[in-house]
């Protein structure tokens, strides 16, 4: 089920890089909507902004809620090539030059940490007490990350380094199903 659609109107007056990012997010929202629109087991929230009690905020491209946990999906617009080295550092080919970039996996993990903090701040309203005494928390709630690279981009990763979080956008739905089945 799609619980929150992406609000395209909020992203209409951005620069060309932001527009490219918005296009990648729209593409991912389309893939998720196509498969999960009628799902009773999986809820999709697109373009979600969260703020905790301290004012710390994060914008999540896509948050997937299922009966066993959460999946944060970070969409990345890559029109050429993305390189990941042995240390899991990211670079992208831009204007025929390689440039380092912030790890989208770490970016999504930071969003996930904020989500967990917000859930724990609101645990008393969301969860029941165990044995009537101890308030349950979200510390052990499964949360996973998927980074979706644009379909037209290319990922170059080391052969001996496993990076299961990093997939092409058209593979995200299969990865979500795999996580859910586990």
Name the strand (E) or helix (H) holding 177: helix 172-181
Q: Architecture of domain 2-181 in CATH? A: 3-Layer(aba) Sandwich (3.40)
- Evaluate if pTM is beyond 0.95: no
Residue 134 has pLDDT above 70, yes or no: no
Sketch the domain layout of the chain as residue ranges.
2-181
pLDDT of residue 131: 54
Q: Are the CB atoms for 53 and 6 separated by under 8 Å?
A: no
Kindly report the backbone phi and psi dihedral angles of residue 98, in degrees, each rounded to the nearest multiple of 5, phi listed first.
-85, 130
Number of alpha carbons in the 13 Å side-chain half-sphere of residue 138: 21
Residue 169 has pLDDT above 60, yes or no: yes
Q: What is the pLDDT of residues 6-36, one digit of tens each?
A: 776 655 556 776 787 888 889 899 999 999 9
CA 154 – CA 81 distance, rounded (Å):
5
Cα end-to-end span (Å), the chain: 20
Q: Mean pLDDT throughout 173-181?
A: 93
Residue 71 has pLDDT above 90, yes or no: yes
Strands 166-168 and 154-156, bridge-based pairing: unpaired
Q: Mean pLDDT throughout 35-46?
A: 93
């Amino acid at each position: 089920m799609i619980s929150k659609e992406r609000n395209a109107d909020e992203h209409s007056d951005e620069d060309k890089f932001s527009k490219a990012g918005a296009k990648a997010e729209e593409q991912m929202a389309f893939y998720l909507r196509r498969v999960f629109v009628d799902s009773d087991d999986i809820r999709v929230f697109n373009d979600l902004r969260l703020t905790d009690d301290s004012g710390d905020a994060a914008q999540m491209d896509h948050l997937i809620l299922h009966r066993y946990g959460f999946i944060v999906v970070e969409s990345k617009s890559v029109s050429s090539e993305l390189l990941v080295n042995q240390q899991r550092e990211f670079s992208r080919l831009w204007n025929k030059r390689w440039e380092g970039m912030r790890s989208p996996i770490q970016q999504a993990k930071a969003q996930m940490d904020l989500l967990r903090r917000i859930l724990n701040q609101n645990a008393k309203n969301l969860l029941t007490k165990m044995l009537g005494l101890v308030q349950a928390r979200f510390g052990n709630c499964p949360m996973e990350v998927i980074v979706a690279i644009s379909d037209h981009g290319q990922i170059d990763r080391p052969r001996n380094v496993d990076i299961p979080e990093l997939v092409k956008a058209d593979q995200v739905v299969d990865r979500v199903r795999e996580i859910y089945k586990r």
